[in-house]
Amino acid sequence: MDKAEKAELVSSLNGIFSSTSVVVVAHYAGLTVAEMQDLRKRMAASGAQVKVTKNRLAKIALEGTQVASIGSLLKGPTLLAYSSDPVAAAKVAVDFSKTNDKLVILGGAMGQTALNVNGVKALATMPSLDELRAKLVGLIQAPATKIAQLSTAPAAKLARVFGAYAKSDAA
């Protein structure tokens, strides 16, 4: 990799670190190519991405960004998982590490907040942005359906009462 390619990579990484809301750092030593591809597919499906870069270049790219606190975690064979959704990258990384012990989560950052391993795991248990939106829509729709049920309930009860009287008079 020549100097221009390195400068372009650092610039690209700096843009990623500046625009992302969460970064998870993990060791990946021992993962096979198939396992790494599986991890990338899972990340892509949830709107997250995985990047493996030289630690030295990643540290340079971290300078001046909100997630600069992860610089101390960049030792050994590390990968960076990041997403704009604050939960997606952490959730996929934690789920993958449960089934594959070769992926060891070291920590991460959410904005300016540094996260240790337990912080990343706690973040992974939170509902994703899409799940929160679905709950919010459900909460908004629930009162409307209850009002509709309440407005039709008295008429239905009245109809049942009239039907019972009609049956008792006919008998």
Give the domain extent around 15.
3-126
The predicted pLDDT at position 138 comes to 78
Domain count, the chain: 2
* 76 and 90 assigned to the same domain: yes
Q: Is there a single domain that holds both residue 39 and residue 21?
A: yes
- Token look-up 């509902």 returns 127
Q: Do 20 and 88 share a domain, yes or no?
A: yes
pTM: predicted TM-score of the whole model, two decimal places: 0.71
Residue 26 is predicted with a pLDDT of: 93
CB atoms closer than 10 angstroms to residue 28: 18
The DSSP annotation for 28-85 comes to: -TT--HHHHHHHHHHHHHTTEEEE---HHHHHHHHTTSTTGGGGGG--SSEEEEEESS
- Give me the pLDDT at residue 146, please: 66
- pLDDT score recorded for residue 110: 87
All residue ranges of the chain with pLDDT < 70 are: 144-153, 155-156, 158, 170-171
Q: What is the pLDDT of residue 149?
A: 65
Do 134 and 69 lie in a common domain? Answer: no
